[in-house]
Structure 1
Amino acid sequence: MAEVPEVDEDYITHSEKARVLSVVERTPAPEEQITLEQTVQLEILTGKFKGQITETINVLSGNSIYELPVSEGDKVMVHIEEYPDSGDYVVYVSDYVRDTYIYWLGGFFLLCVLAIGGMQGLKTIVTLGITMTLVYKVLLPALLAGYSPILITVGIAIVINIVTYLVISGFQRKSYAAIIGASLGVIIAGVLAYTVGSMVRLTGLSGEEAGMLLYIPQGTVFNFKELMFSGILLGALGAVMDVAMSISSAIDEVHRANPLLKSKALFAAGMTVGKDIMGTMSNTLILAYTGSSIPLLLIFMAYDTPLARIINLDLIATEIVRSLAGTIGLVLTIPITAVIAVGMKGK
């Protein structure tokens, strides 16, 4: 599917898919300061120019971060500049086509969920679709329109909680206990992150993407600190929901097996399960945030950067607050959900 063209003052830009038909390579002279020049013949596969054959020059400078060497048969994304007055257009190779294999991987994921989960797997896919719809059709447009990031994210998180638990487990007491426990756990994580983040003066502008939001065409004035905390809330949501349902389900199963158990014994059973989950889920959150920062951590290690310098960087402090606040919210979800689940049993 072709992307909607962007209109500039003198030309219209398109982003389309193309297939590489042939490549002729030339090794430049040393004074040209490039390592290789490819004359690439392309067939455009999508959009207004679909089916047309064109040529472009693909220059490789030896910098593997930015260059895109291509071979015959490759599918690539091309940036097209169309000049309406003359009818001419210029094509540049902008990236590789990656979506085909991503769709295959997504299909394999759905197949695994259905094969192993059966009807529960189907419910999982439904809730995943609802979650993605809420994020991309409600949350992001609301943020782009200038609504309060924290308020809209808390609202979306609670809706995701309710819908997920009710679709997967039905209208049962264990679902209600998990909804309340997970919602409180996420809110605790958000309050902690906001409080500590304000105390340590986090800006929310530690990433390049946040800075780019200053120049978007919509002209929205963002509260970057609140945007950062909304990200923390969403990041903690999945793990907190997992823990809340595990505790609530464990207490429900124990109660079904022995309805005569007192509240204290039910609570102890829930806490036993929670303590087992706590270590692995805490690692999940910490490792998820650490994994995204490995290149930066390697740079710090390579240059023997002092710990005091590292921990006081806005970017690092943000990730630390993010991971610790999320983990604390997860840990506190265990007793909160256990108390609520036991209370709903009325023993």
Structure 2
Amino acid sequence: MVPLFVITVLATLVLWPRDTPEPEQGPDVPRYHGTVTRVLTEPCPPAAEVPEGTPGGSRGPCGTVTVKVEQGPDAGRQVEAPVPAGPGAPTVQVGDKIILVELVDPADPAAKSYNIAEHQRGKQLFWLAALFAVAIVAFGRWRGLAALAGLAASFAILLGFVLPGIGAGQPPLLVAIVGSALIMFVVLYLTHGITAQTSVAVLGTLGSLVLTGVLGTLATAATHLTGFGSEDATTLSMFQRDVDLHGLLLAGIIIGSLGVLDDVTVTQAATVTELAHANPGLSRVQLYRAATRVGRAHIASTVNTIVLAYAGASLPLLLLLVADSRAVSEILTTEFMAQEIVRSAVATLGLIAAVPLTTGLAALVTTAGRGGVVADRPTAPTSRPPADRDDALEALSGRAGNPPPPAPARWPGPETSTDVAW
């Protein structure tokens, strides 16, 4: 693991963004907090007639909203703003905390007006984040606290290295793989401790990430995807014309797969470890087969999780299957639908490969140091003589006269856990 970690750190230093382009400064529109004190709606004036079949929605609602301004030069005053209208406009009621934008007429700088931009959400998001953190720490205790630290480290690496590196013109796929490897090292060891079991999970995750990158490259090349399959990508290309949207698509597949991959690899490594502790006589082949059965059940549910996660994030896109009059086969082969299909398929293939890879590594590491006979030859179960009913009841009640035989050296005690002690 040490050489892999050193290579990851060196690659991070080489790819570290040094000449990050400054974002273009747009017009600074003042934004102020306010509270709605009155909402007055009225009928909208008649709109000009448009040709039949022209897309567009009904106008409205119309009217004025009275807002008490809490910031800026008009703090404490009551100002009026039009009722928000149009697609995505917020619905306001008396007592709502909203954000006002101040608009100045270029022809007459002294003339200004206010519009309602959106609701204030800072306090609600703060309490939701606090509930999230308290629930994790209450259930996971020290490990939950370590998980929160790992989450903070993940965001720090994404915001400090991956996104600025891609914005600086570095190869997005390479930056995503290096950044994901760095996140994996920091988060897994911080959350699960520096153990052989964690190292197996790291190796399995790293191998699966590389395989996912290779499969993603082949799949996007075979389907001739350009990366312009979403409105966000098209908008980004207007602000940064030199960004590699094809590489950005591959980087998104890599980073999106990381969160599910470490779940599977950690579970498989822990399963093999627990099986070896429960029955030290199991051979490598037996450990592999038993843990793989657990992995199959895990994969069967996780595959559905991946597809539903992508579907939930792309519901407006999926609604086109119903709203569009074209044939379904024609819609599925368009750029924006093919991109989601490739993303889901490649992530699932990398996930499936993680199970045998991690399970095999865990079986090798767990049985390392055993005698050759125990490690390579399955142990036959020993038959027990039939016990008398009274003896069995006495043993179950804990009043047996003879103490139980000593447990093997590898067998955990009744009150000990094979988990990492924190």
Q: Which residue of 1 aligns with 2:39?
A: 23
Matches within 5 A, 1:3-22: 8=27, 12-22=28-38
Could you say what secondary structure the match of 1:94 adopts?
Answer: strand
Post-superposition CA distance 1:246-299 (Å, at most 9, x none): 000111111222333221112112212111101011111111112222333233
User: Is 1:236–1:285's contact at 8 Å kept on the other side of the alignment?
Assistant: no
Matches within 5 A, 1:292-307: 292-303=313-324, 305-307=326-328
Tell me: CA distance 1:36–1:270, structure 2 relative to 1, closer, same or farther (3 Å): closer
Taking every aligned residue pair, what percent have the same amino acid on both sides? 25
Instruction: Please say if 1:66 is aligned against 2:88.
Output: yes
C-alpha distance in 2 between matches for 1:300 and 1:330: 28
Could you say what secondary structure the match of 1:28 adopts?
Answer: coil
What is the one-letter code of the residue matched to 2:97? K
Could you say what secondary structure the match of 1:300 adopts?
Answer: helix
Q: Which has the higher helix share?
A: 1
User: Is 1:60–1:69's contact at 8 Å kept on the other side of the alignment?
Assistant: yes
C-alpha distance in 1 between matches for 2:301 and 2:159: 30
Q: Which residue of 2 aligns with 1:43?
A: 68
Q: Which residue of 2 aligns with 1:227?
A: 248
User: Is 2:321–2:328's contact at 8 Å kept on the other side of the alignment?
Assistant: no
C-alpha distance in 2 between matches for 1:312 and 1:283: 22
C-alpha distance in 2 between matches for 1:16 and 1:244: 48
The alpha carbon displacement at 1:89 in A equals 4.1
Post-superposition CA distance 1:31-79 (Å, at most 9, x none): 5884443322223345x44725352432455x5x233332221112222
Matches within 5 A, 1:95-134: 95-134=118-157
Instruction: Please say if 1:195 is aligned against 2:211.
Output: no
Match of 1:326 among 323, 334, 347: 347
User: Is 2:84–2:116's contact at 8 Å kept on the other side of the alignment?
Assistant: no
Tell me: CA distance 1:60–1:156, structure 2 relative to 1, closer, same or farther (3 Å): closer
Q: Which residue of 2 aligns with 1:275?
A: 296
The alpha carbon displacement at 1:204 in A equals 0.6
Deviates more, 1:79-88 or 1:50-59: 79-88
The alpha carbon displacement at 1:307 in A equals 2.9
User: Is 1:289–1:323's contact at 8 Å kept on the other side of the alignment?
Assistant: yes
Instruction: Please say if 1:212 is aligned against 2:235.
Output: yes
Q: Which residue of 1 aligns with 2:204?
A: 181
C-alpha distance in 2 between matches for 1:161 and 1:49: 49
Q: Which residue of 1 aligns with 2:158?
A: 135
Length-normalised TM-score, structure 2: 0.73
Tell me: CA distance 1:50–1:117, structure 2 relative to 1, closer, same or farther (3 Å): farther
Match of 1:157 among 165, 180, 192: 180
User: Is 1:13–1:79's contact at 8 Å kept on the other side of the alignment?
Assistant: yes
What is the one-letter code of the residue matched to 2:214? V
What is the one-letter code of the residue matched to 1:30? P
Deviates more, 1:290-299 or 1:51-60: 51-60
Tell me: CA distance 1:319–1:28, structure 2 relative to 1, closer, same or farther (3 Å): closer
User: Is 2:212–2:350's contact at 8 Å kept on the other side of the alignment?
Assistant: yes
C-alpha distance in 2 between matches for 1:35 and 1:286: 38
C-alpha distance in 2 between matches for 1:23 and 1:311: 45
User: Is 2:306–2:344's contact at 8 Å kept on the other side of the alignment?
Assistant: yes
Post-superposition CA distance 1:87-121 (Å, at most 9, x none): 66432111222333232222221121112111111
Could you say what secondary structure the match of 2:30 adopts?
Answer: strand
C-alpha distance in 2 between matches for 1:336 and 1:15: 53
Length-normalised TM-score, structure 1: 0.88
Tell me: CA distance 1:117–1:7, structure 2 relative to 1, closer, same or farther (3 Å): same
Match of 1:77 among 95, 99, 103: 99
Matched residue count: 335
Q: Which residue of 1 aligns with 2:22?
A: none
C-alpha distance in 2 between matches for 1:54 and 1:143: 46
C-alpha distance in 2 between matches for 1:43 and 1:60: 16
Q: Which residue of 2 aligns with 1:3?
A: none
Instruction: Please say if 1:168 is aligned against 2:191.
Output: yes
What is the one-letter code of the residue matched to 1:272? R
What is the one-letter code of the residue matched to 1:247? Q
What is the one-letter code of the residue matched to 1:301? V
What is the one-letter code of the residue matched to 1:53? R
C-alpha distance in 1 between matches for 2:84 and 2:33: 21
What is the one-letter code of the residue matched to 2:42? R
User: Is 1:150–1:227's contact at 8 Å kept on the other side of the alignment?
Assistant: yes
Q: Which residue of 2 aligns with 1:254?
A: 275
